[in-house]
Amino acid sequence: MEQEAKYPTEKLKCWQKAKDIRMKFYQDYVEAHDKGGLRWAGGAWTFDAIPAGLGDDVYPITSEPYSATIAFDKKLSLECMEATEVKGYPRDLCSYMRNYWGSIITDKFAFGYKDGEFVPRFQGAKPIGFPKPDFIWQDHICCSHAKWYQVVSDLEGGIPMYTVDNAVGPSHELTDSKIKYVVEQLKDGIKFLEKTTKRDYDDELLYKAIRNHFVSTSKWAEACALNKAIPAPLDEKSIYSLYVLGTLQKAGKQVADFYEKDLLPEVQDRVKRGIAAVPNESFRVMSDTQPPWSFLSIFRYLEKFGCVSIGSLYTFGLIGQWEVKKDGTWGAKTIPNMEFSSRDQALYEYVKYELHKPEWQHFYSCHFKSDLMIRIAKEWKLSGVMLHYNRGCEGLTVGIAENRLALLDAGFPVMAFEGNNADEREFDEARTKAKINAFMETLGAK
Amino acid sequence: MGYFCTYVPEEILYAAGVLPVRILGSHEPQDLTEPHIFAMFCPFCRDCLAQGLKNRYKYLDGLMIAQSCLHIRQAYTSWIKHRPVEFSKFLCMPHKVQSPHAYEFLTEEYKTFKNEVEDWMGKKITDKDLKNAIEVYNENRRLMRKLYELRKRDIPPITGEQVMEVVMAMQMTDKAEHNKMLKDLLKKLENHTPDRETGSRLMILGSEDDDTVFMNMVESCGATFVIDDHCTGSRYFWNEVENGKDLLSSIASRYIDRIPCPTKDWEERKRIPHILKLCKDWNVDGAIIMQQKFCDPHELEFVSIKKALEDAGVPTLFLEFDVTVPIGQFKIRVEAFLEMIGEEDLF
Ligand code: SF4
Ligand code: SF4
């Protein structure tokens, strides 16, 4: 089944830089207090431009990517899961959340130092405990979001916590009142931050962070849109290592700059020169929801069949912001072209923009997600779809069975496989590979 | 109008001359929903959808849901796609009910909803209609509170199973009719002494629960459920609509200030003190925490509730429910639990 190369391929040049940004993010969080700074915890979707107004020395840790890092470290993940179970929490709860709680309960952080260098624990770092955040800054659209941090706060003996409800309805039904509800919560949140940290809030820093947010989310989408090209310049396994930066700190300058100045030009160049991520690309599929993190090898397995996974609504729209362009196709959302003149106005624009997030739409109806998936399947010229029925994430798996039916109705072959993004006990690699074999055969791969 | 969650502002529907009917399951094993809802979602939402797919609610003209948990949302979205109805609505009930801004937001959502219902029904909902609906609903709530008050007695005149039937009827029938029947019932119960031992006084709390078979089993083992915290129980009717700025905002306040479902109980856990107070006021000997399998909202809550109850000296028994419950197995566990409570009483 090994196939001949049809296209030239090259490693991504910006790869190392992406890795460095990620490591620095965790190191900054760990070392924040040493430099007199602050650290906070919240989800990947939280409005992270807001705490940025507290100063340049305020460092976050976002829960989902951190928990995915733990998942990648099978031994640590199992310890975390078991510690959480001992506390009485059921195994079917969000597996990211269980990893995260377990890391606090066992007081084992997924990173540490080895010969003075900051590295992941599984690379032999000397163990350090979970650095306690100074405050929690979360958002809530999935049933688990606010509850996740309620438990974190309990486990840590009470950490001041603020959560913003952003579940105000689908983007095509946005109204002034919906936007204002979120804006008013953010304004209260700023008061909470000032009170909790005893710092004055700097609106100029807020404006800068919001602009970074616009750039990160739009430029990421632009890079993903380039994957419509044949051959695809990026494959999903690489995309995972790139989109993660947006999940760490989408309002961070380092992330905005990376997407705009490193990644995007490089992907544009790859398209221009016909550089493929998978040199034997013959079939194109997409996936859905988080992958089983400790089994990313299934994506390499696809390549044996000449199959490239070009991404997913998940990787495109978890952080990326999109819009329908004049020609009817899906492309990066236009960055609002305006000066910010007041906190109220900046927050209003920030919220209005963010509430269009594609990965927030299915929380209101799985049919919105089906439409978006069918759009991707058509515009990215797919041969089929691989749906991860992910037992570890109810938030992104909600409605997935209906998505399957809709994709089939639209004429796209679908392979559904069960697994878990972060609890490897629930993923059967051999069975999944057997399914892939059968699916590839359906698509016509030899 | 079929509705999926008790956050639906029934008063607005009632005012429009629409009868709200809660969608519940049938507790029969089925595999109809397998292509529509992934098996890791709660059995209740699958059971509800099965009723739709089986056309058991064919008499409905409309279907709606108020934003609550993700699981039940799937029953709604699948249903309206595969068994379309004339009127459907996803009402954006805010999650952060502890935010002062939730009131205004929800009132605005209600204004839109009211207009949509008016368009559908082809007539205006007047203030008089709304006032009447609020009064009928509030009276219903007051009568139910009276019924629950009777359960404080040393010998409660009504069992938990019977009360569950009353609440389910309440969620399906015209409240004005229900009020009439409730008044009769209250009169009958006033001087009624049941021909059964009360036994241990229990509370039941947790996920959606309309399993009368289970209630009956427990109550035949030497116990009586005297209080609950369920959306098919006290959480549904505990709070009344109070007079506010205007009618819609008064209704909105009622749904924001009601005893919360766990999906909305943050940042502070306000439900716990309420549950503890119920235990105290109804003089509870023990609590059964029931949990629908895969029900994340309640799974995220029961560890802290269990701890709070036990810290307050209320023993707990945790049971996981599916569409059907293994009644024999549960009976053994319930009996052991009741025995343990009995022993505690002895010393
Ligand atoms: S279930 Fe999924 S969407 Fe919800 S908190 Fe967990 S990872 Fe996030
Ligand atoms: S709250 Fe629990 S029982 Fe109720 S629908 Fe949601 S998941 Fe199911």
Task: Suggest the residue from A139, A143, A367, A390 to mutate for an interface test with chain B (most B CBs closer than 10 A).
Answer: A143
Tens of pLDDT, residues B17-38: 999 999 999 999 999 999 999 9
* Number of domains chain B is built from: 1
Burial A12-45 (b: 16+ CB within 10 A, else e): bebeebbeebbeebbbbbbebeeeebbbbbbbbb
- Please answer whether residues A152 and A145 qualify as being in contact, where contact means their C-beta atoms are separated by less than 8 angstroms: no
CA geometry: angle B280, B239, B162, nearest 5 deg:
65
What is residue B345's predicted lDDT score, i.e. its pLDDT? 58
- Residue B87, amino acid: F
Q: Domain-by-domain residue ranges, chain A? A: 15-442
Which of B34, B74, B299 lies nearest to residue A90, judging by beta carbons? B299
Residue with tokens 């289970």: B214
Q: Across residues A216-233, what is the average pLDDT? A: 98
Q: Across residues A285-306, what is the average pLDDT? A: 93
Rounded CA-CA distance B286/B340 in Å is 10
The β-bridge relationship of strands A135-140 and A161-165 is parallel
| Chain A residues closer than 8 Å to B40 by CB | 92, 389, 391, 394, 397
What is residue A436's predicted lDDT score, i.e. its pLDDT? 95
Cβ neighbours of A297 (radius 10 Å): 12
What is residue B323's predicted lDDT score, i.e. its pLDDT? 87
Tens of pLDDT, residues B194-236: 999 999 999 999 999 999 999 999 999 999 999 999 999 999 9
Q: Across residues A5-9, what is the average pLDDT? A: 95
Name the residue among B109, B305, B285, B99 with its Cα closest to residue B206. Answer: B305
Q: How far is A154 from chain B (nearest CA, A)?
A: 9
Q: State if residue B69 touches ligand 2 by the CB under 6 angstroms criterion.
A: yes
CA distances from B141 to A385, B148, B249, B318 (A): 51, 10, 19, 29
Residue with tokens 């948990």: B69
What is residue A281's predicted lDDT score, i.e. its pLDDT? 97
CATH number at residue B223: 3.40.50.11900
Residue with tokens 């059921």: A90
Name the residue among B200, B191, B141 with its Cα closest to residue B166. Answer: B141
Q: How many residues does chain A have?
A: 446
Q: Across residues B147-159, what is the average pLDDT? A: 98
Rounded CA-CA distance B246/B139 in Å is 19
Rounded CA-CA distance A319/A325 in Å is 19
Q: Is the pLDDT of residue A3 over 70?
A: no
| Chain B residues closer than 8 Å to A398 by CB | 41, 70-71, 73-74
Q: In the sheet where A38-42 sits, what is the strand order?
A: A58-62, A38-42, A135-140, A161-165
What is residue B347's predicted lDDT score, i.e. its pLDDT? 53
Rounded CA-CA distance A273/A233 in Å is 10
What is residue A294's predicted lDDT score, i.e. its pLDDT? 83
- Please answer whether residues A370 and B42 qualify as being in contact, where contact means their C-beta atoms are separated by less than 8 angstroms: no
CA of B229 to the centre of ligand 2 (A): 14
ipTM of the complex: 0.96
Strands (E), A80-209: 111-114, 117-120, 135-140, 161-165
- Please answer whether residues B221 and B156 qualify as being in contact, where contact means their C-beta atoms are separated by less than 8 angstroms: no
Neighbouring-strand partners of residue A284: A308
- Please answer whether residues A137 and A189 qualify as being in contact, where contact means their C-beta atoms are separated by less than 8 angstroms: yes
Rounded CA-CA distance B44/B23 in Å is 10
Residue B127 half-sphere exposure toward CB, CA atoms < 13 A: 4
Q: Is the pLDDT of residue B137 over 80?
A: yes
Rounded CA-CA distance B281/B268 in Å is 23
DSSP conformation class of A260: I
B112 SS3 class: helix
Q: Which helix (H) or strand (E) holds A131?
A: none
Burial A318-356 (b: 16+ CB within 10 A, else e): bbbbbeeeeeeebbbbeeeeeebeebeebbbbbbbbbbb
What is residue A295's predicted lDDT score, i.e. its pLDDT? 87
- Please answer whether residues A68 and A97 qualify as being in contact, where contact means their C-beta atoms are separated by less than 8 angstroms: no
Please give the structure tokens belonging to residue A297.
Answer: 């090898």
Cβ neighbours of A158 (radius 10 Å): 8
A129 SS3 class: coil
The β-bridge relationship of strands A330-332 and A322-324 is antiparallel
Q: Is the pLDDT of residue B342 over 90?
A: no
Q: Across residues B8-19, what is the average pLDDT? A: 98
Looking at ligand 1, which atom is closest to the CA of residue A95?
A: 6
Name the residue among A161, A160, A165, A162 with its Cα closest to residue A140. Answer: A165
Residue A158 forms contact with B (CB below 8 Å): no
Residue B245: band (very low, low, confident or very high) from pLDDT cuts 50, 70, 90:
confident
Which of A88, A146, A405 lies nearest to residue B303, judging by beta carbons? A88
- Please answer whether residues A429 and A294 qualify as being in contact, where contact means their C-beta atoms are separated by less than 8 angstroms: no
A139 SS3 class: strand
Tens of pLDDT, residues A24-33: 999 999 999 9
Q: State if residue B158 touches ligand 2 by the CB under 6 angstroms criterion.
A: no
Name the residue among A325, A63, A54, A329 with its Cα closest to residue A190. Answer: A54
What is residue B195's predicted lDDT score, i.e. its pLDDT? 93
The residue ranking higher by pLDDT, B12 or B345, is B12
Helical axes A236-249 vs A15-31, angle rounded to 10°:
30
Rounded CA-CA distance A439/B133 in Å is 57
Tens of pLDDT, residues A333-351: 999 999 999 999 999 999 9
Average pLDDT over chain B reads: 96
Q: Across residues A380-407, what is the average pLDDT? A: 97
| Chain A residues closer than 8 Å to B300 by CB | 93, 143-144, 147, 150-151
Rounded CA-CA distance B191/A298 in Å is 70
- Residue A288, amino acid: D
Tens of pLDDT, residues B82-120: 999 999 999 999 999 999 999 999 999 999 999 999 999
Q: Across residues A223-249, what is the average pLDDT? A: 97
Name the residue among B247, B242, B9, B17 with its Cα closest to residue B120. Answer: B17
What is residue B244's predicted lDDT score, i.e. its pLDDT? 86
Main-chain phi, psi angles of A115, to 5 degrees? 50, 45
Tens of pLDDT, residues B180-204: 999 999 999 999 999 999 999 999 9
- Residue A388, amino acid: H
A366 CB-contact burial (10 Å; exposed 0-12 / middle 13-18 / buried 19+)? buried
- Please answer whether residues A353 and A321 qualify as being in contact, where contact means their C-beta atoms are separated by less than 8 angstroms: yes
What is residue A1's predicted lDDT score, i.e. its pLDDT? 53
Q: Is the pLDDT of residue A397 over 70?
A: yes
Residue B133 half-sphere exposure toward CB, CA atoms < 13 A: 22
B102 Cβ contact list (under 8 Å, min separation 6): A165, A181, B94, B96, B256
Tens of pLDDT, residues A33-67: 999 999 999 999 999 999 999 999 999 999 999 99
Strands (E), chain B: 2-3, 21-22, 62-66, 87-91, 200-206, 223-229, 286-292, 316-321
Rounded CA-CA distance B37/B46 in Å is 7
Q: Is the pLDDT of residue B343 over 80?
A: no
Which of B71, B96, B104 lies nearest to residue A165, judging by beta carbons? B96
Residue A391 forms contact with B (CB below 8 Å): yes
Q: What percent of chain A has pLDDT over 70?
A: 99
Q: State if residue A386 touches ligand 1 by the CB under 6 angstroms criterion.
A: no
What is residue A385's predicted lDDT score, i.e. its pLDDT? 98
Ligand sitting nearest the alpha carbon of B294: 2
Q: What percent of chain A has pLDDT over 90?
A: 96
B158 SS3 class: coil
Residue A139: band (very low, low, confident or very high) from pLDDT cuts 50, 70, 90:
very high
Average pLDDT over chain A reads: 96
A263 Cβ contact list (under 8 Å, min separation 6): A14, A18, A219, A220, A223, A242
Please give the structure tokens belonging to residue A415.
Answer: 């392979």
- Residue A307, amino acid: C
Q: How far is A346 from chain B (nearest CA, A)?
A: 19
Q: Is the pLDDT of residue B337 over 80?
A: yes
Q: What percent of chain B has pLDDT over 70?
A: 99
Q: Is the pLDDT of residue A134 over 90?
A: yes
What is residue B346's predicted lDDT score, i.e. its pLDDT? 55
Please give the structure tokens belonging to residue B203.
Answer: 């509370």
Q: What is the CA radius of gyration of chain A?
A: 21
Q: Is the pLDDT of residue B344 over 80?
A: no
Residue A276 forms contact with B (CB below 8 Å): no
Q: Across residues B330-346, what is the average pLDDT? A: 88
Neighbouring-strand partners of residue B291: B320
Q: Across residues A144-169, what is the average pLDDT? A: 96
Q: Across residues B307-327, what is the average pLDDT? A: 95
Rounded CA-CA distance A93/A91 in Å is 6
